[in-house]
A and B are shown apart, each in its own frame.
Chain A
Amino acid sequence: MAEAAGPGLGYEECVRPHLDYLYGVALRLCGNRTAAEDLLQDALLRAFRAFRSLRDREHPRRWLTRVLTSAFYDRVRMELNDALHRSVEEDFDLFDKIAEEDPFPYSDRVHLDFLELFDDARILEVLQGLAPQHRVAVILAYVYGFTAREIGEFTGRPVGTVLSWLHRGRKQLERELWEHAVSHHLIDRGAVGR
């Protein structure tokens, strides 16, 4: 995807090439198409308002990610205090859990079999189970390759906080994947309950 917009380009030319990318980010953050579209529209409006004062027009994708993330972060701000108090079981290890519980006793690739239970809709659902700040960090870092420093800039939080979000987000993700499989009866509960 083209990154540089060039200093002479206007708002439309700067934004349009990145719509698909932005929709992908919004969909992962929000979990459904309607909310993703709404978030994206909000972000486009914010981007328009900030565009005149934008000095670095060489990296519109990074800038637009920042605007979108900030819009999302503002929306979920009310949930953050609550989420911060939600405990994350940091000792949970999905790899070990699958090995111990062995939900596919006749398989010699039990870990891969477990992951294959998750289609795209289920992955989006699992991501929604993460606390919002963990979700932002996990998605931007592991899906899009942004650094902790960049995510800190996008959300206005220190790098140390983002690193903590990533650690807790990974642990929460592992727990959510397991609980989703159990609660949706994707695995043999007889085997799991042994």
Chain B
Amino acid sequence: MISCREAVARLWAYLDRNLERLQEQELEEHLGLCRHCCGELEFARHVRALLQRPGAAVELPTETRAKLEDFIRQLGGGA
């Protein structure tokens, strides 16, 4: 079975589904027996969710949108 160190190194790639099938199987086998690494996997999920928050909550400010749309219009008009 892979070590905790190896399992932890694979967690983010696992969440991204970027592991080879064998690597994924090895990790899942480890996770089935290791509560510590299951906790770390859950923690990695939460950290990723944290990163996704700021840009999603902030809308393009109305003034900035108007400015950018004007800019785009000028570029398009000059083509």
Contacts and interface: CB of A to CB of B under 8 A. Distances in A.
A111 B51 CA distance: 16
Given A95-B39, A124-B54, A37 B47 contact: no
A41 to B, nearest CB: 6
A95 B51 contact: no
Contacts of B60: 19-20, 23
A27 B54 contact: yes
A141 interface: yes
Interface residues of A, number: 45
The SS class assigned to the A binding surface is: helix
The SS class assigned to the B binding surface is: helix
Given A11-B79, A24-B58, A143 B51 contact: yes
A23 B48 CA distance: 20
Contacts of A139: 51
A11 B76 contact: yes
B51 A27 contact: no
Contacts of A82: none
Interface residues of B, number: 34
Nearest to A169: B12
A111 B48 CA distance: 14
Interface in A23-46: 23-25, 27-28, 33, 37, 40-41, 44-45
B53 A115 contact: no
A153 interface: no
A25 B55 contact: yes
B33 interface: no
A88 interface: no
A163 to B, nearest CB: 9
A90 B55 CA distance: 28
Contacts of B58: 23-24, 27, 120
Given A138-B51, A143-B55, A33 B69 contact: no
A95 B72 contact: no
A10 B55 contact: no
Interface of B: 8-9, 12, 16, 18, 39-40, 43, 46-48, 50-61, 64-65, 67-69, 71-73, 75-76, 79
26 contacts: A11-B72, A12-B76, A19-B65, A19-B69, A23-B55, A23-B60, A25-B55, A33-B61, A44-B71, A44-B72, A44-B75, A48-B72, A94-B43, A94-B47, A111-B39, A111-B43, A120-B57, A123-B51, A127-B51, A141-B16, A143-B51, A143-B52, A145-B16, A147-B18, A148-B18, A177-B47
